[in-house]
A = this chain, B = another copy of it.
Amino acid sequence: MDIGKYKSNDKILVAVDCIIFGFDGGALKALLIKRSLQPEKGKWSLMGGFVNQNESTDEAATRVLRQLTGIENIYMEQLYCFSDVNRDTAGRVISIAYFALINIADYSEQLQAEHEAKWFELGQLPDLVFDHTVMVLKAQESLREKVARQPIGFELLPNKFTLPQLQSLYEAIYETSLDTRNFSKRILALGVLNKLDEKEKKNSRRGAFYYVFDAIKYKSLETNGVRFI
């Protein structure tokens, strides 16, 4: 046997697919594109791409995300490997799904047009190619779990945000409504938000104070296991 070359084993096409979540202040959305290659060309799809011989799946996902959004440092996390033999109707492809969180305002209109991309509210998704609907549902489930225990919700908001915005975000993610008093008590008690002097004035006459997430303060809590919600 040839030492250590694994020559006799099957090679397989490996892809990444990205579930890109965004929040517009009211609803949680996913970014979909019109698939640009056969089969199923023209159907709504997640943004994806093949993994090259010389890149990790993380690198491939980062590349795909940059291509579609133009954003450099996107929060991104591996979700799951989907590998059913017939999941892709054109051949054997296993796909490593990633979910990403972006501030919807950072996303360039221009790229959106180029890729025929569109934001869809979760729960109002169109039919998707292959197993992409399953991927989105699993991503949503994973997002719900993670966002309660890690400070990743902030990735979906602008750098400075108000408490009502943050509350709306959690309400959208969990499809529930929260008590304002209990919410602000719990979040502020964590001590990881810094209040600014500045107010956001678009949504109300009175205005709501901006806050920023303080990663340093968070670091010191991290070990004990925090609950954001």
Contacts of A9 in B (CB 8 A): 13, 50
Question: Could you say how many copies of this chain the assembly holds?
Answer: 2
Is there a chain B Cβ closer than 8 Å to A171's Cβ? no
Contacts of A83 in B (CB 8 A): 51, 56-58, 96
Query: Which of A85-93, A105-113, A115-123 is the interface stretch?
Result: A85-93
Q: A80-B78, A81-B81, A96-B81 are in contact. Are A53 and B3 (CB under 8 A)?
A: no
A to B CB contacts below 8 Å, 22 in the list: A1-B37, A1-B38, A3-B39, A4-B37, A4-B38, A4-B89, A4-B90, A4-B91, A5-B91, A6-B91, A6-B93, A10-B13, A10-B50, A10-B52, A11-B11, A12-B53, A51-B83, A54-B92, A56-B83, A56-B85, A58-B83, A81-B81
Known: A4-B90, A11-B13, A12-B13. 13 other contacts (CB 8 A): A4-B39, A4-B89, A5-B90, A6-B13, A6-B50, A9-B13, A10-B13, A10-B51, A11-B11, A12-B14, A12-B51, A51-B94, A57-B83
